[in-house]
Structure 1
Amino acid sequence: MPVRSVSRSPAVVTSGRPGPVLALLATISGGMYAHDGEEVGYISEGRLELAIEDDVHVLETADSFHFDCNRSHSHRNPATDRRTVVVWCVTPPPH
């Protein structure tokens, strides 16, 4: 499965010390992902279309999500005229 990196703001929410969770503020333009772990996020601004296997969820500002990353998943910004900002946490960090 293709993997595409996310456009990430330089503002990292964690202390920067190595640990079991990576938290970041991400500006989403879309992508496909496959990896071990879990993801949790909060939609700070805009809309996020999150596909987990055959289910597609359209999340709005102030919505949140949590899922097992071993399941096939992808996400995208469904809007063409505004950005999507997500506070995103991944465990374990993919780096």
Structure 2
Amino acid sequence: MYIMGKFNVDNLPRTSETQAKEGIAVAKEDLQLGDLVFFNTISNKISHAGIYLGDDQFAHSSSSKGVRISKLSESYYKDRYVTARRVVDEKSYLKMIE
């Protein structure tokens, strides 16, 4: 929520399950910096989210390990990947990559 606020995305729902319904759906092969990526880590629903950093990497937080950078291709996340959403507008995205 803190990072998204830096890009003027201040109306994002609190839970990853509801966040996964916001913005525009993005195919995994079309991910851009700042896209939100979602995973099924508990039961059959979306329960974890991260921010795509490029080069197969995403930042995310865990209650036991704090903020981490992981790869989408790691078997744990690859097997649990559900979807991605673009919530950062193009103007903010362009500022991000400058």
Q: Same fold (TM over 0.5)?
A: no
TM-score when normalising by structure 1: 0.29
Of structures 1 and 2, the one with the larger relative CO (CA 8 A, separation 6+) is 1
Higher helix share: 2
TM-score, normalising length from structure 2?
0.28
